[in-house]
Amino acid sequence: MKLMTKSPLQIARASYQPKLPVALKSNVVLKEGSATESVADHAEIKNLFPNTYGMPLITIEPGDAKKNPIMAVGVILSGGQAPGGHNVICGLYDGLKSLNPSNKLYGFLGGPIGLVDHEYIELTKEIVDEYRNTGGFDIIGSGRTKLEEEWQYVKGAEICKKLGINAIVIIGGDDSNTNACVLAEYYSEKKTGIQVIGCPKTIDGDLKNEMIETSFGFDTACKVYSELIGNIQRDANSAKKYWHFIRLMGRSASHITLECALQSQPNICIISEEVEAKNMTLNDVVDKIVAVIVHRAKHGLNFGTLLIPEGLIEFIPAMKTLIAELNELLAENEDFIALNSDEEKREYVKSMLTPESTLVYRSLPKGIARQLTLDRDPHGNVQVSLIETEKLLIEMVAKRLVQLKAEGKYKGKFSAINHFFGYEGRCAIPSNFDADYTYSLGYTASVLISEGKTGYMASIRNLTAPAAEWIAGGVPITMMMNMERRHGKMKPVIQKALVQLDGAPFRYFESVREDWAGEKMTYIYPGPIQYYGPTEVCDQPTRTLQLEQGKNIY
């Protein structure tokens, strides 16, 4: 029997032609703005990046035809998967071929390590065509290896020289684009002739600033999670017997949780940045949740939905201090690594922490405390996706409700189900928005390369307008940098964009959340991503982006 290899949707999507901004559809010219500065720590960043600091912003505009020399480019997918990664590569490929049909594109395999280990493939038309408008990063794979040592840069330059590669495109989040910037600076300083261009990727939505309106993947991932949340809400409202505690990915910032809340209107939504700003303890968070549960129970509603951001634990001030201490304590700590049992590790940690943090550490369920001491990722981050905050909250809320019941203050029933949505959305088939946005980013990268630029991130702006009106260009990566403590040392890094409590998306949420928490039915059921149909159904950017750009969402 013939084996089926593709779904009907995959086959249909293969022929979708992503939309491009008008300026990228013809010959182009670059318009340069004035010199830029880093977001903070000007002197330190300038000193660390003497060759790539201060470059101007770039806008791509229609221009005259010119002869483009032959180029070879290497591309790397870095970090966690995000829908649209394949389309960045497709846009890059098509852009390079339109500049000169003899141009070549190589893909380094398994993330940045492919550059160092010289693992690559040439991306031919046959390969690229197989991946158009698909989710995932499997065309060349991804990884989290950090490029930070000179020998790695030298190995990278070696393979570029061998293959005649004159530019590398790194598709990644804040950490990976920081790597791209360091690499660009090194290759400039050594006059290798290798350019480096970054592309803003991450479902977390925290790689954004004045010039980068959103990272790709955020749109699709939020739409997938919102569909699932909507489905759960229908179930909750039908069965009327469960509280659903739903943790959502987003390693640090709560953008995903906020966007999903705006799309689905759950009863409760915790935003980590607010918890931190209000200096809340874990018990305060529990109290907030319990108050809503008790209120709804009074109206006979013993069910509901609660959204929790994955990064919550790191934003509770006392937990943040504990995690910072653990990060310093466990960084390359041979003594800790040598310990065998969980109990020995627990005792060791307790003996080394400050008294305040020891108290917090001891107050946590053992499982959660252990999760906090697990391996960091290569960038020194706690792997929050492994910490089951939703279970911790269920446990604490249940205990509190038992107390309230004993005191006669609560008469409801509490039965909770936990969920974690993360990996379900990271490789989804990209929405039209992400398919168009990523293709445009890749195309833009090809233009920046052909114009000899390095140390830039491809940028597409004006994203709430139709794609034809999008503005393509480049932003110097040094412009986004500041100094932060990592692995116990001060390092130049791209500043992460957290949820702004005075920003329009949060302010809107704040104005309606009481209604969502009450006895009225306010759930919204967003349904699946639509690829075909009226534009107001298929081409809507996120609520976050619309609110940030002053658009009315309802």
Q: Which residues are catalytic?
A: 204
Q: Does 202 bind ligand FBP (CB under 6 A)?
A: yes
Tell me how many residues contact ligand FBP (CB under 6 A): 14
Rounded to whole angstroms, what are the CA distances from 540 to 16, 464, 533? 17, 8, 12
- Toward ligand FBP, which CB reaches closer, 199 or 475? 199
Contact of 444 with 60, CB cutoff 8 Å: yes
- Toward ligand FBP, which CB reaches closer, 377 or 451? 377
The least distance separating ligand FBP from the CB of residue 253, rounded to whole angstroms, comes to: 9
List all residues 6 or more positions away from 472 whose beta carbon is below 8 Å from its beta carbon.
21, 23, 24, 59, 60, 440, 443, 444, 447, 458, 459, 460
Using alpha carbons only, what angle is made at residue 441 by residues 478 and 459, rounded to the nearest 5 degrees? 35
Q: Does 474 bind ligand FBP (CB under 6 A)?
A: no
Bridge partners of residue 459, in order along the sequence: 473
Rounded to whole angstroms, what are the CA distances from 47 to 185, 247, 478? 11, 41, 11
Q: Does 255 bind ligand FBP (CB under 6 A)?
A: no
**Of positions 358, 385, 462, 522, contacts ligand FBP by CB under 6 A:** 385
Characterize 162-188 residue by residue with b for buried, 16 or more Cβ atoms within 10 angstroms of its Cβ, and e for exposed.
ebebbbbbbbbbbbbbbbbbbbbbbbb
Quick one: which of 97, 34, 9, 5 has its CA closest to 429? 9
The beta strand positions in 397-516, using DSSP E, are 416-421, 456-461, 471-476, 481-486, 489-494
Q: Does 82 bind ligand FBP (CB under 6 A)?
A: yes
Q: Does 249 bind ligand FBP (CB under 6 A)?
A: yes
What would the x/- binding string for ligand FBP be over residues 338 to 367, using CB under 6 A?
Answer: ------------------------------
- Toward ligand FBP, which CB reaches closer, 243 or 421? 421
- Toward ligand FBP, which CB reaches closer, 437 or 523? 437
The DSSP symbol for 300 reads T
The least distance separating ligand FBP from the CB of residue 113, rounded to whole angstroms, comes to: 14
- Toward ligand FBP, which CB reaches closer, 94 or 276? 276
Q: Does 308 bind ligand FBP (CB under 6 A)?
A: no
The least distance separating ligand FBP from the CB of residue 269, rounded to whole angstroms, comes to: 17
- Toward ligand FBP, which CB reaches closer, 159 or 384? 384
Q: Does 434 bind ligand FBP (CB under 6 A)?
A: no
Q: Which listed range, 39-47, 79-87, 501-509, 528-536, lies at the site for ligand FBP (CB under 6 A)?
A: 79-87
**Of positions 74, 79, 205, 492, contacts ligand FBP by CB under 6 A:** 79
DSSP 58-117: EEEEE---------EEEEEEESS--TTHHHHHHHHHHHHHHH-TT-EEEEETTSTHHHHH
DSSP 358-392: HHHHHHS-HHHHHHHTSPPPTTS---GGG--HHHH
How buried is 504 (Cβ within 10 angstroms: 0-12 exposed, 13-18 middle, 19+ buried)?
middle
**Of positions 21, 83, 85, 250, contacts ligand FBP by CB under 6 A:** 250
Q: Which listed range, 154-162, 198-206, 367-375, 461-469, lies at the site for ligand FBP (CB under 6 A)?
A: 198-206
Angle, helices 432-450/218-239, rounded to nearest 10 degrees: 170
DSSP reduced 3-state for 253 = coil
Q: Does 173 bind ligand FBP (CB under 6 A)?
A: yes
Q: Does 442 bind ligand FBP (CB under 6 A)?
A: no
| Centroid of chain to Cα 29 | 31
Q: For residue 531, how many other CB atoms are within 10 A of its CB?
A: 18
Q: Which listed range, 110-118, 197-205, 387-395, 514-522, lies at the site for ligand FBP (CB under 6 A)?
A: 197-205
Rounded to whole angstroms, what are the CA distances from 284 to 161, 393, 408, 483? 58, 11, 21, 32
Q: Does 384 bind ligand FBP (CB under 6 A)?
A: yes
DSSP reduced 3-state for 499 = coil
Q: Does 68 bind ligand FBP (CB under 6 A)?
A: no
Q: Does 204 bind ligand FBP (CB under 6 A)?
A: yes
The least distance separating ligand FBP from the CB of residue 82, rounded to whole angstroms, comes to: 6
Structure tokens at 517: 């928490």
Q: Does 380 bind ligand FBP (CB under 6 A)?
A: no
Q: Does 296 bind ligand FBP (CB under 6 A)?
A: no
Q: Does 496 bind ligand FBP (CB under 6 A)?
A: no
The least distance separating ligand FBP from the CB of residue 252, rounded to whole angstroms, comes to: 8
The least distance separating ligand FBP from the CB of residue 218, rounded to whole angstroms, comes to: 10
Structure tokens at 308: 């929790």
Q: Does 493 bind ligand FBP (CB under 6 A)?
A: no
Contact of 28 with 68, CB cutoff 8 Å: no
Which 309-338 positions form the footprint of ligand FBP (CB under 6 A)?
A: 310
Q: Does 80 bind ligand FBP (CB under 6 A)?
A: yes
Q: Does 135 bind ligand FBP (CB under 6 A)?
A: no
Q: Does 251 bind ligand FBP (CB under 6 A)?
A: yes
- Toward ligand FBP, which CB reaches closer, 137 or 506? 137
- Cα gap 528→89, rounded to integer Å: 25
Characterize 417-453 residue by residue with b for buried, 16 or more Cβ atoms within 10 angstroms of its Cβ, and e for exposed.
ebbbbbeebbbbbbbbbbbbbbbbbbbbbbbbbbbeb
Residue at token pair 């470059």: 55
Q: Which listed range, 76-84, 344-352, 362-370, 430-438, lies at the site for ligand FBP (CB under 6 A)?
A: 76-84
Instruction: Name the site residues for ligand FBP (rule: CB under 6 A).
Output: 79-80, 82, 173, 202-204, 249-251, 310, 384-385, 426
